[in-house]
Structure 1
Amino acid sequence: MSREIYDCAAGCPVQSTVQIIAGKWKSVILYHLFQGDATRFSTLDRAIPSVTARMLALQLAQLEEDGVIAKQDSDDDRRATKYVVTPFGQTLAPVIEAMAAWGAAYNAREKERV
């Protein structure tokens, strides 16, 4: 998938970031990979019950194509693969952590309003 490089007015660096993590599930996938609680396709599928297997595979493939994640043979089962965040993908950790913190604060605020 080709990506544009934005070099324009304020806001364009944000657009460049959004190009990579946009999609309903990419940031959620990255959150789980950063947490370390799901690294195989099957565990990601269980961790995100609302996503279809087809969409999960598509989003994983796009993240892999963008160099954010990579497939590796699993240490305990050579027939299985796991997904790992690449060094380039690790640079997104503060972004995903900030999104998670903002989401938690938003959820708390919304609970208070009810």
Structure 2
Amino acid sequence: MKKSDNHIKYTADAAAQAVDQALKVLEGKWKLSILFYLFDGKVMRFSDLERAIPEITQKMLTQQLRQLEADGLVGRTSYPEVPPRVEYRLTEWGQALCPTLDSLITWADHRPK
């Protein structure tokens, strides 16, 4: 990897590794669905996400949210109320992923039939 003119130039191997690492962050059956529900600055409670993705179990939703939080894509805010209220939102870094995923959708739409 070389840095010049504020751009990082990757070798083919370094580029492949970087993309592989990025894909590992997004790996998981429900992560992309969760991210798409939270795009555009949306804030959702755990129960809202459960309703939005009815096929997901509570355990799986918890796991996926924890992984997204650990990877820095999702922020979690817990309020000391009864019953407890927890809200999820994308971090700035998570929100920056939106144009990339939009590009992937466009790319996939142009797949030869």
Task: Return the TM-score normalized by structure 1.
Answer: 0.70
Q: Does 1:93 align with 2:113?
A: no
Q: Which structure is higher in helix share?
A: 1
Q: Does 1:83 align with 2:88?
A: yes
Identify if the C-alpha distance between structure 1 residues 35 and 90 changes in structure 2 by more than 3 Å, giving closer, same or farther.
Answer: closer
**Structure 1 residue ranges, 4+ long, deviating more than 3 angstroms after superposition:** 35-38, 98-103
Give the number of equivalent residue pairs: 99
Question: Offset at 1:67?
Answer: 1.1
Identify if the C-alpha distance between structure 1 residues 18 and 53 changes in structure 2 by more than 3 Å, giving closer, same or farther.
Answer: same
Kept in 1: contact 2:42–2:89 (CA 8 A): no
Identify if the C-alpha distance between structure 1 residues 47 and 36 changes in structure 2 by more than 3 Å, giving closer, same or farther.
Answer: farther
5 Å-filtered alignment, 1:44-59, equals 44-59=49-64
Structure 1 unpaired stretches of 5+: 1-6
Question: In percent, how many aligned pairs have the same letter?
Answer: 37
Partner of 2:71: 66
